[in-house]
Amino acid sequence: MSYAKTYYLNFVSLRTEEAIETYIHEVTPERKARIETTKRLETKASLLGAGLLLKAVLKKEYGLSDFSLETNEFGKPFIKDRADIHFNLSHSGDVAVCTVSDTDCGADIESTTAPHETMAVANRFFSRNEYAAMMLSPNPNEAFCRLWTLRESYVKMRGKGFAIGLSTLRCDFHRGVCWIYENHILQDDAFFREIKDVRGYRISVCTKGECEHSVEEIKISDIA
């Protein structure tokens, strides 16, 4: 059976100019350039946190300390000359998440405590049944984040970005397990892992095929 390993990092300590300056040289030149051209400190910290997490995970799992990233025609990144490694990054609030696998994968994280335009977005992208279930939930914001991260992780797993319209997707649940439909066709090669290890966040991971899955936290102190 294939594997998928998901790591998460709280990067709140990076939200200072001093921390940015300390760690910016640890990420790829492309990410360093993005950080340097970004004005908002919160965005700098998010980009840096995700970059540090990816570097730590690739070293931990594959012994890679030097690597180059490229993107496919839809913008999904991959590691140059390492077709055996699949990864995906996401960040929200103060937390970044990275999934690595030996098969196509996608990961998405959303803060359940941050305000979301749930009604407008859900009305546009969710099916009638999904919308109704969200509104009847005791916590509509968390229900929204659940459906949204499941969709996002699936789209990112496929590697086609928004060439797949989110409104063409529908999530059905059987005994708590999500199955996803695209244009009313069941995508039976898409398997989901929903992660609630991080308080205040909802994380969804989608893999192509069933995987053995593990979850682990990485701390800034582990990277230094």
- The Cα 24–Cα 63 span in angstroms is 21
Give the CATH number of the domain where residue 110 resides: 3.90.470.20
d(CA 39, CA 26): 20
The pLDDT of residue 161 = 83
Residue with tokens 């086609």: 160
In sequence order, the 6+-apart residues with CB closer than 8 A to the CB of 126 are 134, 147
Question: What is the pLDDT at residue 116?
Answer: 73
Predicted confidence at residue 224, as pLDDT, reads 60
**Predicted pLDDT at 162:** 79
The answer to whether residues 205 and 213 touch, using CB atoms and an 8 Å cutoff, is: yes
Write out the residue range of the structural domain in which residue 22 sits: 2-223
pLDDT of residue 192: 98
Q: What is the pLDDT along the chain (224 residues), one digit of tens a residue?
A: 999 999 999 999 999 999 999 999 999 999 999 999 999 999 999 999 999 999 999 999 999 988 999 999 998 999 999 999 999 999 999 999 999 999 999 999 999 987 777 778 888 899 999 999 999 999 999 999 999 999 999 999 999 987 898 899 999 999 989 999 999 999 999 999 999 999 999 999 999 999 999 999 999 988 86
Whether the Cβ atoms of residue 179 and residue 172 lie closer than 8 Å to each other: yes
In the prediction, which pLDDT does 114 show? 78
Distance CA(103)–CA(2), nearest Å, equals 7
Return d(Cα 198, Cα 216) in angstroms, integer. 10
Domain count of the chain? Answer: 1
Q: Strand 211-217 and strand 2-10: pairing? A: parallel
Q: Which structure tokens are listed for 95? A: 């937390």
Start-to-end Cα distance in the chain: 34
